[in-house]
Structures are given as C-alpha cells and as structure tokens.
Structure 1
Amino acid sequence: MGRKFYTLDEVAESLSISMSQMRALIKRGEIEGIQIGGRSQWRIEDVKLDEYIERMYEEQRRSS
C-alpha cells in the first residue's frame, strides 16, 4: 500500500518548484490540501496531486 498524504516539501520537490510556489498553489486553490495536527501542518493527498497534474496536462493540451 502506497502513501496517501505528502508534506508540502515532498510535493514541491516532486514538482520541482519552490516552497513559495507550492504555498501559492494552495492559497490560490489550484491544488487542494488539508491542515492537520496540533501545528496545523499541510498535507496533500496523493489523489489531489494526481488531479492537479492531470489538470495541468489538460490545460497544456488546450493551449497547444
């Protein structure tokens, strides 16, 4: 069974973007995340990351 949630650092690294870019994606609602735990740490569900990537591919196809 694979992991279900990833930290912002992990997602930013997998997308090859900075943490500030990652936070901007969440703030703009382009990628969905949840805040959990006592320190309200952000987590991105694997399904939401996959949806975001697929949306980006679709946007690229439409703009070509």
Structure 2
Amino acid sequence: MKKCIVALLGLVAVLVSFLAFPFLPVADATTDPSHMPKGYKTCFMERHAVYTDGAPRWVKAPRCVFAE
C-alpha cells in the first residue's frame, strides 16, 4: 500500500510539472549590438503573466543586463 502511495504521488508531481511548464518565462538572449541600448552587455525578451481584469495575459518585455 505504501509503495502505491509513493508511486501515485510521483505521478501527480510529474503531471503538475507538465501543467506548470507553459507558465514558465521564456528568455530569448541575444548579443547582437543592434538590439540593445548602449552600455548593456546583453538583452533578452522576458515573457510573464499580468493579472488585470481577472484574466491573465502574456506580456513580453525587454530585459537588459548592464555591462560592468
């Protein structure tokens, strides 16, 4: 009985991780100098969910890393 519970919990964990996968942000990194502001090392587009009006919507916003 204990082995069945452990196997069932493992299966539930795998299924939940597959369902949560589309909500992870996607980062498209680039080092092309034409796409980034002066003084930054790299920029990427970050996708995140915004919860306004009760329904989530995906927003892509540029995120840049400053060259130190």
* TM-score category of the 2 structures, normalised to the smaller one: under 0.3
Higher strand share: 2
Q: What is the TM-score when the length of structure 1 is the normalising length? A: 0.23
The structure having more radius of gyration, on CA atoms, is 2
Higher helix share: 1
Q: What is the TM-score when the length of structure 2 is the normalising length? A: 0.23
